Amino acid sequence: MVILEATKIHKSYGNKLNKQSVLSGLDISIEEGEFVGIMGSSGSGKTTLLNVLSSIDQISNGSITIEGTEISNMKEKQLAEFRKNHLGFIFQEYNLLDTLTVKENILLPLSITNTPKKIANEKFENVARELGILELKNKYPNEISGGQKQRTSAARAFIHDPSIIFADEPTGALDSKSASDLLNKLSELNQRRKATIVMVTHDPVAASYCSRVIFIKDGTIYTQLNKGEQSRQVFFNDIIKTQGVLGGVQNEH
Amino acid sequence: MSINVLMLRNLRKNIRNYYLYVFALVFSVALYFAFVTLQYDPSMDAVEGSIKGGAAIKAASVLLVAIVSIFLLYANTIFIKRRGKEIGLFQLIGMTKGKIFRILSAENFILYFGSLVLGIAVGFSVSKLILMILFKIMGIDAIASLRFSTPALVQTLIVFFVIYLLIMLMNYGFIKRQSILSLFRVTSTTEGNVKKLSFFEMIIGIAGIGLILLGYSISSRLFSGDLTSMTELSISMITILASVIIGTYLFYKGSVSFIFHLIRKKKNGYLNIKEVLSLSSIMFRMKSNAVLLTIITTVSALALGLLSLSYISFYSAEKSAKLYVPSDFILTDIQDAKQFKEALTTENLLFTEKITEVIQVDVNIENILAENSKTLGMMSNNMTLPVISENSLEGIDLSPDEAYFTKTSSAMENLISMKDQGGIEFKGQHEVIPQFYKRIDMEAPVLYNFTGGGLPLAIVDDTTFERLKKDLDPALQRKSSLNIGIDMKERASVEQANELFQNMKFAKGHITDSQLETMNNQKQTMGLIMFIVAFLGLTFLITSGCILYFKQMDESENEKPNYTILRKLGFTQGDLLRGIQAKQLFNFGIPLVIGLLHSYFAVKSGWFFFGTELMTPMILVMLLYTALYSIFAVLSVFYYKKVIKESL
C-alpha cells in the first residue's frame, strides 16, 4: 500500500524577480513498511524535501498525500493535528527538551493526544526496552551520551505508532559505534513494528541500512537504488558508485 | 554599508525590542524631573506642615535616582549580553574593540538621550498634575502653577548623564573583557545547568519555607504582650527580618524546585503541555534568579507595607483626630477659653462649653494586669493615670468604692492587657484608696495630653475625686488640670470657628487643640508621605516589572528551539500559548504572592500604631499593586506569542 505520494512538487524561495528553485517537479512514492533513504550533495534540496513531506514547510506547487489525506493545503491547526497523530521525527541535533527527563521527553507525543496514563506507561516500557534506554528514564538529557540521546529521540518518534517517521541526518552527530547501534535499532523497529521510515543522510553507511535509496540532484530525482536481496556490503558499494557519478561539478567546457 | 547606516539600522531594530526600556526610562526621567521641579517650586512652601515638604521630596528624589540607576544598569547587563553575538561578529570582520565601543555608545546615546529629552518634556507637562494630586491629597487649597525651573533641568541632566557614563563604563568593561569566542558563547552560559534535585537542595527548600513561616509566626506575636522587654522586642524584630529575607532567598533557591519536583514525581513522567512549559522550566530557572527575585520581593513588600501603613494612617485621620481631640476645640486655660468664646460670640456662632477637671494620680494596677503583661519590663505596677469625677459625665453614677476605666488606644491595648475587672489602689501623697475597677466601652472624653496619648482614664465617684484632689502629688500634675471642651452647635460653622481659633493669640505654652486642625495635619503629613511612597513604589514597580519582562524576553528566546520541537511534534500555537500562560502565572505570580504575604504580615504586626482601620486601606493598596503588576505578565505573554509564532 502506498503511504506517501508526492506528485510534481515545486518549492522555490524568493520573489518573482529573484526566484531560487529548490525542488522542481519531484515525484516520490513510499510504500508502507519501507525504510527509504534520501541522499544528495549539500544544497541538493534533501532537507527541504523532508520538510515539505513532513508538513513543516509549505510547497509552492504540486500535491502531497499521506495515507490518502492531502496535506499541501491544510490549515496550520489541521497540520498540527495531523502531525501529532501520523508523524514522528528524529533530528540530527536530537531536539530533546533539556528540562524534561528521558521518560517525560518520550511521553510528550502521547500527552498531546491525551492517551490514558496506563496505556502510555505500557507503550513507554515497550519502546524504551526495545531501544535499550529503560534504565535511563529518570535522567536528564545532559546526563546521557549522544547515542543515548538519539535513541531517546527515536523512542519519542516511535511511541505513538505514527504512519511515517522522518529522520533528518540522525547519525550526523554520532560516533560510528553509536551510529551503527542506532541504525540497527531503526531497521529492527522498521521490521518488527512495520514502521515506515524516511531518512535523509549524506552518509553512505547509514544509507546502506535502507531498503531503497533515492538520490536527489538539483531538486529532482537523479536515480534510485533498491537493496532487494543483496547484502548490506554490496548495497553499500552500489551506493558509493552512484554517489561518485552523482557528485562533483560538471565541467562546462 | 557605512558605520552610520549600520548604527541606525541597529537602533531601529532595538527600539522595537526595547520599547519597554524606553518607556521605563521616559517614566523615570519624567518623575525625577517632576520631583526636582517640585523641590525648587516656591509653592511647595504651602506644604509646610509638621515636616518640610521640600526636604521630603528631596529625599524621595535621591531614592528615586538610586532605584532608577540600579534598574538602568541591570537592564543594560541584560541587553549587552543579548548583543554578544553581534559584537563578536563585528570583531570577526576586523573592527577594533574601540570602534565597536564607539558604535554602541553612539547608539545608546541616541536611545538614552532621546528618552531623556522626551522624559523631561513629559515631566514638565505632568509636574503641574503631580502638584495638583499632592495638594488634593493633602487637602491644601492652593493653585498649582506651571513653572519651568532651570535648576531642576540642570540637575536632571547631570544626574542622568552620570548614569549614562556608568552604563558606558560597564559596556566598555564588557567589550574589553570578551574574546571573539566567548562572545559567541555568552547566552548559553547564563542559565544554570539542569541537574537532579539533590538532598542538599531538598533541605534548602524545606528550610526556606520554614524560615518564612517562623518569621510570620514571630511577627504575629510581636506586640501581643508575650515579649517581656525592649531588648527582646528588638531581637525578635531583627529575627523576623533576617528569617523572612533569608527564607525568601532559600525559597527561590530551593523550595520552588522542591515543590515542583514533588508534583512532577507524582505525575510519573507523563506531563501535559502546561506542565512541560511551566513546571519544568520554572523549576530550573527560578534558582538562577534567586537573588534578583529576593530583592524584588523584599523591596516590593517594603513599598507595599509602607504604602499600606501610610494609607491606613491617612484613611483613619478622622477617627484618630476624634480620639485625640474629643471636642471640636479644647483649651486648657480659662483666659484663653474666654477670649475664644468672645470671638465666637461676635461672629454669632453657637457653641456649648464643657469644663472637666483632670487630675493625675498614681494607681497600683498589679492585680488587674493580665498575666502575660506582668513581666513586661517597661511597665511597673504603678501607673500615673488621669482621673475625672463622675459629675463630668452624664449617665454615669458610681458608688464611692467603684472606678471605671475608659478604653485605651489600640496600640496600648496590644502592649498591656488588663483584666476586665478587679481591685486597684489610688495612691495619694498620704492615703491609699482601694477601689473596685471595671472596664467600660467608652473613649476618654479629654484631650490626649491628659491621657498620655492612650492610657486609660479613670472615672471615680465625686467623693473619691474630692479626696484625691486634696491629697494630690503636685509633681505628677500637668501645667493645667482643666479640659475646656468647646463644641459647635452646627457642624457647618466648625470651619469658620477653626479659622478664628487659628488666628487667636493664645499665651505661649498653653495647650490648645482643634479637632479639625489635628485631622488636617495628619492628613497633610500622611498625605505627603503617602504621595512620596506611592510614586517611589510606582517607579519600583515599573522598573522591577520591566526587569522581569526583560528576563522573560531572554528566556523566551532561549527556549525558542523547544517551541520548534514541540510544534513539530504536533502541538498547536494555542497549546503552547496556554502553557506559557500557566508559566507566567507562576513566574510573576510567585514573587507577587510572596511579596503580598510579606507585606500583609508586616502591616498586621504593627498597624495599630498608625490608625484605626486595617482591612479596607490594605486591600485597596494590594489590589492596585496586583493590577499594575499583572500588566507586565500580560505583556510578556504577548512577547512569547510572537516567539512561538516565529518558531516554526
pLDDT single digits (tens) A155-202: 998 888 888 999 988 888 888 888 888 898 888 888 888 889 999 988
Across the range B534-546, mean pLDDT stands at 86
According to the 3-state scheme, what is the secondary structure of B92-105?
Answer: HCCCCHHHHHHHHH
Instruction: Report H helices in B559-572.
Output: 560-569
Domain ranges, residue B10: 1-190
Model confidence at A99: pLDDT above 90 = no
**Given phi > 0 = left and psi -120 to 50 = alpha, else beta, which region is A161?**
left
pLDDT at site B224: 67
Between A98, A109, A142, which is nearest B569 by CB? A109
pLDDT at site A55: 84
Q: Which residue of B has its CA nearest to A139?
A: B196
For B208-350, list the strands marked E by DSSP: 329-331
Are the Cβ atoms of B276 and A85 closer than 8 angstroms?
no
pLDDT at site B146: 65
Q: Which residue of A has its CA nearest to B283?
A: A99
Which residues in chain A have Cβ-Cβ distances shorter than 8 Å to B561? 95
Interface test with A, best of B196, B264, B562, B568 (most A CBs within 10 A): B568
pLDDT single digits (tens) B580-610: 999 999 989 999 999 999 999 988 887 877 7
pLDDT at site B192: 46
* Chain B residues 563-582 with a CB less than 8 Å from chain A: 564-575
Are the Cβ atoms of B569 and A89 closer than 8 angstroms?
yes
Are the Cβ atoms of A100 and B271 closer than 8 angstroms?
yes
Which of B482, B512, B542 is the last residue before a domain boundary? B512
Q: CA of B100 to nearest chain A CA: how many angstroms apart? A: 33
pTM of the model: 0.80
Alpha-carbon gap, residue B593 to B241, rounded angstroms: 18
Which of B494, B512, B530 is the last residue before a domain boundary? B512
Does the residue B26 lie in any domain?
Answer: yes
Q: Decide the pairing of beta strands B482-488 and B421-427.
A: unpaired
Q: Which residue has the cell 518558531?
A: B647
Q: What type of residue is B307?
A: L
Average pLDDT, chain B: 82
Between B194, B567, B575, which is nearest A140 by CB? B194
For residue A134, the SS3 value is helix
Does the residue B486 lie in any domain?
Answer: yes
Name every residue in A having a CB less than 8 A away from some CB of B. Answer: 54, 56, 76-77, 80-85, 87, 89, 95-101, 103-104, 107-112, 117, 120-121, 124, 137-138, 140-143, 156
Between B194, B271, B566, which is nearest A98 by CB? B194
B97 φ, ψ (degrees, to nearest 5): -60, -35
pLDDT single digits (tens) B385-396: 888 888 888 777
Q: Which residue has the cell 538519539?
A: A150
Which of B190, B210, B228 is the last residue before a domain boundary? B190
Whether the CB of B474 is below 8 Å from some CB of chain A: the reply is no
pLDDT at site B608: 79
CA torsion sign, B48 to B52 to B58 to B60? negative
Model confidence at B373: pLDDT above 60 = no
Does the residue B617 lie in any domain?
Answer: no
CA torsion sign, B542 to B547 to B553 to B559? negative
Structural contact between residues B177 and B544, judged by C-beta atoms closer than 8 angstroms: no
Q: Which residue of B has its CA nearest to A165?
A: B569
- Enumerate domains of chain A plus CATH numbers: 34-53+84-246 (3.40.50.300)
Q: Decide the pairing of beta strands B359-364 and B382-389.
A: antiparallel
Domain count of the fold of chain B: 2
Does the residue B275 lie in any domain?
Answer: no
Are the Cβ atoms of A97 and B271 closer than 8 angstroms?
no
Q: What type of residue is B167?
A: I
Which of B414, B372, B375 has the alpha carbon at shortest distance from B219? B414
> Would you call B188 exposed, middle or buried from its count of C-beta atoms within 10 A (0-12, 13-18, 19+)?
exposed
Which residues in chain A have Cβ-Cβ distances shorter than 8 Å to B273? 111-112
